[in-house]
Chain A
Amino acid sequence: GAGVSQSPRYKVAKRGQDVALRCDPISGHVSLFWYQQALGQGPEFLTYFQNEAQLDKSGLPSDRFFAERPEGSVSTLKIQRTQQEDSAVYLCASSSRTGPNSPLHFGNGTRLTVT
């Protein structure tokens, strides 16, 4: 497809379960971002990859959150031992360039609900 693809679209997890969220960026896009969006709020930065290198993970809220992009394309965001406060929409975005004037192209997100 032409856009950023995220799966699953919806995920319900019981507290304490591990989850893995997948992002397929636009082909050839160098930059990849993960954002967390709580209900009724703006997206909050989690982590950033340039190709396979994770250049910034300062937004990850705890060591239960882990992201990877081993071959510089598909990325996975993993949350271990999920907690109720992890319930949010997780957005992935990619960009063909790395400069401040490059718009990010977002996927539809994965809505995670922890019960």
Chain B
Amino acid sequence: AQKITQTQPGMFVQEKEAVTLDCTYDTSDQSYGLFWYKQPSSGEMIFLIYQGSYDEQNATEGRYSLNFQKARKSANLVISASQLGDSAMYFCAMSANNAGNMLTFGGGTRLMVKP
């Protein structure tokens, strides 16, 4: 079974600054994927970034980067140059090789960007 833990229920960040959202995971699988999704107040889940367990480089997508530390089983999301539109819930999720692409989600972190 997989487990995702997000220990920050809420975070504030000043506009234009960088912020790190924490995620730790637990799995016995050797092959797995780690994902981050953004959920604005409208409710849709927006895919942000993916990191495979065998990827040696940290994933980056525009202002999003994933700080993957395999030995620590952490997959923190870094958002650079925060914008007001980044205010939303952020969910870390993982899939494991034996579960197809079924995702297990963490409890989420609410990010609030201050002008």
Q: Which residues of A contact B (CB under 8 A)?
A: 31, 33, 35, 40-45, 48, 50, 55-56, 89, 91, 93, 95, 97-109, 111
Interface residues on B, range: 20 to 34
Number of inter-chain CB pairs below 8 Å: 75
- Known contacts A100-B33, A100-B96; A108/B103 CB under 8 A: no
In the complex the two chains form, is A45's CB within 8 Å of B50's CB? no
Given contacts A43-B91, A106-B44, 13 further A-B contacts (CB under 8 A): A40-B108, A42-B106, A44-B105, A56-B102, A93-B103, A99-B101, A100-B31, A100-B33, A103-B47, A103-B101, A104-B101, A106-B45, A109-B44
- Which one of B32, B103, B108 contacts A104 once the chains associate, using CB atoms below 8 Å? B103
Closest to B94 in A: A100
- Which one of A48, A105, A109 contacts B102 once the chains associate, using CB atoms below 8 Å? A48
Q: Closest approach, in angstroms, between the C-beta of B46 and any C-beta of chain A?
A: 8
Neighbouring A residues of B102 by C-beta, 8 Å: 33, 45, 48, 56
Closest to A102 in B: B101
Q: Which among A50, A103, A108 has the greatest number of chain B C-beta atoms within 10 A?
A: A103
Please report the C-alpha to C-alpha distance between residue A93 and residue B47 in the assembled complex, in whole angstroms.
11
